[in-house]
Every structure is written in C-alpha cells, then in structure tokens.
Amino acid sequence: MSATALRLPRLFARLVRFEHTVFALPFAYTGAFLAWGGVPPARLLLWITVAMIGARTVAMGLNRLIDASIDARNPRTASRELPAGTLSRLQVIALCGIALIVYLVAVFRLDPAVRWLWPIPVVLFVVYPYLKRLTWACHLWLGLCTGLAPTGAWIATTGHAPWEAWVLGAAQGMWVAGFDLFYSLFDVEHDRSAGLHSWATRFGESGVFVFARALHAMAVALLIAVGLGLGLGVWYWLGVAAVAALLIYEHTLVRPGDLRRLNAAFFTVNGVIALVFFGFVLLESL
C-alpha cells in the first residue's frame, strides 16, 4: 500500500474536522433519548450515529470544495487540504459521494418518515457555503443546518415531531449560531477586504457580542420550554443550569478588544456544553 493511501484517512479526518462532531452528535442523541422517553435501543443509536457521521462528512466536504478558492486567499485557511494540494478535488468529491451513500444507507434503516426527508439536509449543506458571499445572516443558516440534528433524530426515533422536537432543534441552532458569531471574528479583516459577509463585517466586534449573548439567552429559554413541555425531572433541569453556567463562562473568556482566549471560548467550552448537557439527559433517561 502506498504512503499516499496510508495518509488519506488522516487527511480526510482533518479535512472534515472530525473532532467537531462533538457539537452536533450529542444533541442528536439528546433528541433520540427525549423522544424515546428513556434509553433507545442500541441498533437505533447506531444508525443515528452512522447517519450523522455521513451527513456531517457531506456537509464539510461540500463546504471545503465550494470555498477552496476563498480558503486559498485567506492566510488562516490557506494550509487546508485543498488549497495546500494535499488532497485533490477529485478525492474530496469521492469522499462526499461515499459519505452520501453511507448517510442514505443509515436513513433507510431508520423510521420510514425520514426516508422522505433526507434531501432537506443535503440542500441546506449545499446552500450554506454560498451565503457568506451574499449575506451576514449566514450564521443563522448554519444554526438551521445543525438544528436538524436533534429534530431529525427525534423523527428517526418515533416517526413524528411534536413541538418540543422543533424547539429543541431551534435551541441547538441558536447555540451554534451564537458561537459561530465569535468564529467570524477570526477572519473579519480578511472578509472585509475580500467582500465577504459575516455578522462581524456588518455589525462590528461589539455587535457580535450583543447578538451572541441574545442568541445564547434564547437557546437556554428554549431548553427550558422543552423541559416544561415534556414534564422532565431534576436531571434535565440540572443540565439546563449547567448549559447556562457554561455559556456565561464562555462569554467571560472574550470581550470586545480582548480576543486572546477566543479559541478556548469557541472550541473547548462549546464541546463541553454539548457533552455535559447530553450527560444530564442520559441521567434523566435512566
């Protein structure tokens, strides 16, 4: 086996930022557990996991393909696999094709209702990379994409989606959109010079903080609504309290004019939020 073939799995994992699965997969499990009203069967969780990995790989692969020329002009992203030439467009297209097949296989092992809905995430994934060329609201679209995880898992579990399923998806979407506003601060100067749109280029650094706080407050409020609607117990409420506390902590790490801990706020704290909240939902389900 050639050295290039041996490197491909590592390059693909780096391309799709596999570690960022922690932002969405725990919320998909949360949707499944709350829908089931307990611990779902292992087979169901397996196929939800496979579907999530396939869908996210498609999303990230498409994002990298569509944004390759933009990434090449940005010093922060010029070392990514496509601009740097460590992966070819054909290889990434092949990865997206394989991931789409994996996603479809998993979808057809879940509730029949999702078999009719599978194109919706794919269409949203295709649209998302183009929005930064058009509107500063691209962060809200990303929230919409990721908010499908718990709602989709809920439908995959029961075949229907009560209002709590949609509210849970909206909560995750607002959480993700809120911290993606922080992420836009990494590239604000480049985006302005390149004519790209983001919340930071439109509203400035202070506007990012105001809207991120508002979105995160709404996310917590929506999690509260889910708990009230389902009549959940103490473990769930401890989870909501933990999310609120971690979000408050996240917003203490960075402030206008002081972005030194932006990486910690974006990557570390948000990964902890997803895992901790699911942990409390798991305890609620046992």
Residue-range domains of the chain with CATH: 3-285 (1.10.357.140)
Closest by alpha carbon to 14, among 91, 100, 123, 90? 91
What is the amino acid identity at position 152? G
Q: What burial class does residue 201 get, using C-beta atoms within 10 Å of its C-beta: 0-12 exposed, 13-18 middle, 19+ buried?
A: buried
At residue 182, the pLDDT reads: 84
Closest by alpha carbon to 199, among 216, 190, 124, 209? 209
pTM value surpassing 0.75: yes
Contact residues for 14 (Cβ-Cβ < 8 A; gap 6+)? 81
At residue 4, the pLDDT reads: 56
At residue 162, the pLDDT reads: 95
Residues of the chain with pLDDT under 50: 1-2
- In 3-state terms, the chain is what percent helix, strand and coil (to 5)? 80, 0, 20
At residue 102, the pLDDT reads: 96
Tokens in use for 257? Answer: 């004019």
